[in-house]
Amino acid sequence: MTTVGDRTLLIEERMGFPLDEEAPEEDLSAPAAFALAEHLTGIAVTPELLRDTTFACATLRLR
């Protein structure tokens, strides 16, 4: 029986996250993060999506 953690690791490995002890020569964590986001949401983050989307942000003051 595979656990949620095991399945998550398999997905992360498939998306390109380096999971071994040694650091890769080239850092591919950003492309891997976008691939994981697409896998989880079903929405590909394309240059067109980033260019044509209006983003809203705000800052909050913590007490």
> What are the pLDDT digits (tens) for 4-35?
788 888 888 888 877 777 767 887 778 888 88
Which residue would you say has higher pLDDT here, 53 or 22? 53
Output phi, psi for 4, to 5 deg. Answer: -60, -40
Model confidence band, residue 51 (pLDDT cutoffs 50, 70, 90): very high
Positive or negative: CA dihedral 36, 37, 40, 43: negative
Predicted TM-score (pTM) of the model is 0.59
